[in-house]
Amino acid sequence: MSKRDLQDQIVFITGAARGIGRGIAERLLADGASVVISDLDEEAAKETADELKTEGAKVMAVQADVSSEASVQAAIAKVHQEMGSLSVLINNAGLFASTPALSEDLSGWQKSLDVMLTGSLLCARATAPDMKANGWGRIVNISSVMAFIAYGEDVGYCTAKAGLLGLTRSLAVEFGKHNINVNAICPGHIRTPMLDATAKHVEQRDGTSPEQFFEELVGTIPKGRLGEVKDIAAMVSFLCSEDADHVTGQAMHVNGGSYLA
């Protein structure tokens, strides 16, 4: 397989109907991969898959609740029937829920862990056997700069994303002997619907307008701009390529310098 050539590789992307997941799908399709658009929202997944289908592009949509092992296994079974054996997993599904540490309601905390941390393990458990049998695989976990920094009332998100880095390192060691690379990407502030929702939450909580929120964010980024989905997709492309053959167990920061590891 040549550099940046994912021909004949089948990629399973969670949370791929929109935002970063969709951008990753677009990039990996351009790299020659066949792509599975997986999302909790089945109709949105189908719509995205239809929009991304171009001449020669192999795309399918599948509904999956990554927090449910049965749902994940059922989704993978459909992929096997329609496309074949998987060789790349992108754990991108996520959510942001306000989770104050002193809140009596732990539902937001639990959902954050179920989707972003346990869900990533469940998807790895479901897809790694294919990679092991193929003798080649890539798993990329989408973590966050918030695995390293926090803003308050975000214990669920920060904990899940930090835990994802531990999962990445553990799987990298366990799967390395099977020629499966496992890495994480830690995006900074990427302009997506999730960041827009965060801006609205901050406005309700602190009275800061979305315009001021984004202006202040940009002020913390040495590159002077918010990140774009394509920035993350480019790093995913690299980690899935033969250029990254000796890169595993790493947390790759893509944040314009707003956090320096």
Write out the catalytic residue numbers: 157
Under 8 Å between Cβ of 85 and 130? yes
Under 8 Å between Cβ of 14 and 37? no
The 8-class DSSP code of residue 179 comes to T
In Å, how far from its chain's centre is CA 201?
22
Separation in Å, CA 154 to CA 149, 150, 151, 245? 10, 7, 7, 35
Under 8 Å between Cβ of 7 and 32? yes
Under 8 Å between Cβ of 99 and 157? yes
58 C-beta neighbours (distance < 10 Å), count? 14
